[in-house]
Amino acid sequence: MDAINLSSNVDWNFIEEVAKESGQNPSLCYQCGNCTAGCPYTQYFDYPVSQVMRLLQAGQKDTILNSKSIWLCATCETCTTRCPCEIDVAHIMDTLRIIARRENRVSEKDIKLFYDTFLDSMKQFGRIYEVGILLAYNLKSGHFLADSDLGPKVMSHGKIHFFPKKIKGRDKVAKIFERFQDKAKKHD
């Protein structure tokens, strides 16, 4: 990492923006590392979560939004549970993903695609239609045969089905989506 000029290269607005949207105060973090200590995905992260918090305190917007870590986070909330300063770290990670999407700078396109496919399926059927998600994701991502070897196994166990199982009140679920999309538009 290049030297960070703390006089000119700190994005104070970004710190403010994340604090406001997540409802968390990044200054509470005293860098004990307990979030990283408990994180089950840290070995895949380019910056461990405690360093994401530190980069946030240092207003390093570009480094954070370009990182893979914010997308690889599984939101298991171990960090939130363990944080002695009572910071909802998972919420901050979520907020960082939202900001990255809004600014069109998603570093892990496939993960975003998976989220979108998953949510489309929810909106359409009121619950997820696994085969539909699988096909849509594989087609759109270009990983046509990803995990295809698992298909027959899970299908023979009755874990997934060829046809979607729709739920009652799908329209109500769709409304939830509409409501949030409206809200998101207002924010823009």
Q: Which residues of the chain form contacts with other proteins (CB under 8 A)?
A: 30-39, 42-43, 47-48, 50-51, 78, 82-86
The residue among 76 and 139 lying less far from other proteins, judged by its C-beta, is 76
Q: Which is nearer to other proteins, 51 or 121 (CB)?
A: 51
- The residue (of 87 and 100) whose beta carbon lies closer to other proteins is 87
Spatial distance between the Cα atoms of 25 and 23, rounded to a whole number of angstroms: 7
Q: How far is the CB of 126 from other proteins (least distance, A)?
A: 37
| Alpha carbons 31 and 62: distance in angstroms, whole number | 21
- State which residue, 38 or 164, has the beta carbon closest to other proteins: 38
Q: Shortest Cβ distance from residue 1 to other proteins (Å)?
A: 11
Taking the complex as a whole, how short is the minimal distance between the CB of residue 82 and other proteins, in angstroms? 6
Using CA atoms of 157, 160, 162, 166 in order, give the dihedral in degrees to the nearest 10: 130
Quick one: 79 or 133, whose CB is closer to other proteins?
Answer: 79
Q: How far is the CB of 85 from other proteins (least distance, A)?
A: 6
Half-sphere exposure of 145 (CA within 13 A, CB side): 1
How far from the centroid of its chain's Cα atoms is residue 89's Cα?
Answer: 12
Report the nearest approach of other proteins to the CB of residue 30 (Å).
Answer: 7
Long-range contacts of residues 11-19, Cβ cutoff 8 Å, at least 24 apart: 11/59, 11/60, 11/61, 12/59, 14/56, 14/59, 14/61, 15/56, 15/57, 15/59, 17/99, 18/56, 18/92, 18/95, 18/96, 18/99
